[in-house]
Homo-oligomer: A and B are copies of this chain.
Amino acid sequence: MKNKRPAMEPVSDLTAGRLSVYLRCLNVLEAGGVKTTSSKALAAQFHLNAAQIRKDLAYFGEFGVRGVGYYVSELKTHLRAILGLDRPVRVAILGAGNLGLALADYQGFQEEGFAIIGLFDTAAHKVGGKSRQGVLIHDLAEFQRCAHAGQIDIAVVAVPADNAQQVVDMAVNCGVRAILNFSPGALKVGQGIKLKNVDLTVSLESLSFFLARGGGDVPDA
């Protein structure tokens, strides 16, 4: 674990996930011309918990204004800074199959300011090609060069499950410290490296759970 800041208490992934959801909500409000909001209004409109919103935000400072609530654009700026989005975050996508190509063009990433450095693959016939939106496919050797040069903040792993651990090890060995993995298997990384698994099955199961229970209304997560 390098550069640990002792003054900062660890904050769970769950908190980070909620802050990220709040930012999404504020984007919606801003797009609709809304200037101010409150924990209560946010909770009502987006099916969130008002007390939880206040608690999560209070952890990072005093953002509310008495009698007003929150200024949407100001709170957005704060949340973006807390989430590390106030500086460029450079993302490399490993694997230029359907999933990699889809992620390279995923609208949400660009909207939030993530910089997609490129797609990287070992298949010679793919190298030199592009995603539909024009993200270039490079050879994996180019990824290693960029990573060693400290030009990659996050590696997104979109290779088949059988190759995933090998690709993760390679990225970590090149100095990448944050990895978003889409392969369904269980991967291992050493201390000080952050591995986030996106398991799409969990989302599908929350729907089968809903159907199995006869479709009773449940609050959104």
Q: Which residues of A does B touch, CB under 8 Å?
A: 1-5, 8, 10-14, 16-17, 19-21, 23-24, 28, 82-85, 89, 91, 97-99, 101-103, 105-109, 111-112, 114, 131-132, 153-154, 156, 161, 177-180, 183-184, 186, 191-192, 194, 196, 198-221
Contacts and interface: CB of A to CB of B under 8 A. Distances in A.
A24 B111 contact: no
23 contacts: A3-B215, A4-B215, A10-B216, A10-B218, A10-B219, A11-B213, A16-B206, A28-B186, A89-B208, A98-B99, A99-B99, A99-B106, A103-B200, A108-B184, A108-B199, A109-B204, A153-B208, A154-B204, A178-B207, A178-B210, A194-B211, A194-B215, A196-B206
A130 to B, nearest CB: 12
Nearest to A18: B202
